[in-house]
Amino acid sequence: MISIPNERLTIKLLRRGIFLEQLAELQNESDIRGIAITTKEYQANLTTEIVQKIAIGIINWLRQSGVKGKLTVGVGRDSRLSGQKLQRGLIEELTTYGVDVYDFGLATTPALFMSTQFSQFSCDAGIMLTASHLPYYYNGVKVFSQKGGAEKEDITYILSHSDKSQLNEEKGQVTEADLLTVYAKDLVEKIRAANPKKGDSPLSDFKIIVDAGNGSGGFFTEKVLQALGADTSGSQFLTPDGNFPNHIPNPDNKEAMQSIQKAVLSEKADLGVIFDTDVDRSAVVTKSGDVLNRNNLIAVLSRIVLAEHPGTSIVTNSPTSDHLKTFIESLGGYQVRYISGYRNVINKALDLNQKGVDTQLAIETSGHAAFKENYFLDDGAYVIAKILMLLPNLQEEGKTLESLIADLKQPLETQEVRFKLEADNYRTLGQRVIQQIANIDITGWEIDPENEEGIRFRLTPPYGHGWFLLRMSLHEPLLVLQVENDEAGYIIPVLKKIQQFLANYPDVNQEKLTALLSNE
């Protein structure tokens, strides 16, 4: 008889352990992602029940962070099909335990952080339901405090502290509020302030179209561009639709960029703007149809910040062109290549500033860009605002956006190949491959010491002039290879040498490389 309670306790503890393990699996570095809609291939693991556990974890996290008194939390979502249901569950749990909630409805990730800064809200935390550009059946949770975005260790704490036994049940209030209008007004005021001679409509001479990819970015058309006098006719995919019926909402996606390019040229627009689903990333297309993303976007923003802050440092992730480094240095700046991941580059910039090294910009090739002047928040709309601040002056001087990066040399050939790692301990496998390729002895391949992620080689004759980088994917069991060359015909010989090397590792799937080489 005495053993029955112990057996029940053991079962309860086992179940709790399994549940905590399931929660831990949802961690995606500094945010949370999972399957929110069951499909033929995937079982949902980010359910209303799970989101409510995360809500308790966020309350416990705020308390252990030293936040006292009545908690106020803002909650928003992107256009995903599962968003409204998860948002209701999140709000219900927060208010059950005494949290006052601002229900912001459709919102953006940067706006949720700003809800902790805007005086009319002063939220202790902002919670955004989003999974960026991932397929429709995904969703996720991004968390902000008044100090900034949650770090990896914060998410670990949230997911491992879902115990509500120390919390009191006292009903909190729910207030519906329009965050995007407040956020947009702030951007409008900043753009007007940069062009004081132009009055309230500094963009009245411009036609600017927006591609929101059916995500949350459609607000930018009316609330920012039209408010500044721009003609936005021809903008596309502004209506939120979690099926994402037109293209992946991702400025790093070839199909998406081709779509906005086509729209700019057919509409004879002065500028095209494209956002990802939750508007923490963006890219632009110029009047002539040139794409400003990846290295080109970094170059444009680098010129802007170096004009405002001469001699500043700029942190990027590792897969940037050698030509970008030359470009930044020619402007009197410094490039610091660091580990991929938007929180990694932001934290590197924060660290440099703390050490007395002025660093005004942290940016990834994926489009995540964070300015020191803007809380080091990766904010796609703010990136566009910085460019819009510049447009009227460029027009007066008879210059174009392309002219800002006319000195940026472009590689002649580029190629990316991803290798699936088919081993249980795939990280160990990937790291072993990277360590051992360092021992390869090939004339014309020299290890680049200015690299913090994976391994980077400089290429010289007989392999042209360029570089390649082999690194682990941040979130997937993949090795990622990126190759650039300034001379034609040298990428294939490099790929063949890498194919020969990888033949020693049967658990590295070379299917995509084999298909690529078979077409040559």
Per-position pLDDT tens, the chain of length 520 = 444 455 554 444 445 555 678 898 999 889 999 999 999 999 999 999 999 999 999 999 999 999 999 999 999 999 999 999 999 999 999 999 999 999 999 999 999 999 999 999 999 999 999 999 999 999 999 999 999 999 999 999 999 999 998 898 899 999 999 999 999 999 999 999 999 999 999 999 999 999 999 999 999 999 999 999 999 999 999 999 999 999 999 998 999 999 999 999 999 999 999 999 999 999 999 999 999 999 999 999 999 999 999 999 999 999 999 999 999 999 999 999 999 999 999 999 999 999 999 999 999 999 999 999 999 999 999 999 999 999 999 999 999 999 999 999 999 999 999 999 999 999 999 999 999 999 999 999 999 999 999 999 999 999 999 999 999 998 789 999 999 999 999 999 999 999 999 999 999 999 999 999 988 6
Tokens encoding 493? 């010989």
In degrees, to the nearest 5, what angle opens at C-alpha 291 toward C-alphas 287 and 293?
Answer: 135
C-alpha to C-alpha distance for 486 and 323, rounded to whole angstroms: 10
HEC string for 312-359: CEEEEECCCCHHHHHHHHHCCCEEEEECCCHHHHHHHHHHHHHCCCCE
Helix (H, G, I), strand (E, B) or coil at 237: coil
Q: In which element (H, E) is residue 34 found?
A: strand 31-35
- In 3D, which of 500, 434, 503 has the Cα closest to residue 471? 434
In terms of CATH architecture, what is 183-404?
3-Layer(aba) Sandwich (3.40)
Using the CB atoms, write b or e for 359-381: b if 16+ within 10 Å: bbbbbbbbbbbbbbebbbbbbbb
Q: Tokens 């040139």, residue?
A: 290
CATH architecture for residues 413-518: 2-Layer Sandwich (3.30)
Helices (H) and strands (E) in the chain, counts: 16, 22
The backbone torsions φ and ψ at residue 90, rounded to the nearest 5 degrees and listed phi first, read: -65, -45
Written as six digits, the tokens of 53 are 């556990």
CATH topology of domain 3-177: Alpha-D-Glucose-1,6-Bisphosphate; Chain A, domain 3 (3.40.120)
462 preceded by a cis bond (ω within 30 of 0)? yes
Residue 456's SS3 state is: strand
Q: Where are the domains of the chain?
A: 3-177, 183-404, 413-518
Domains 183-404 and 413-518 share a fold: no
- What distance in Å separates the CA atoms of residue 407 and residue 439, rounded to the nearest whole number? 36
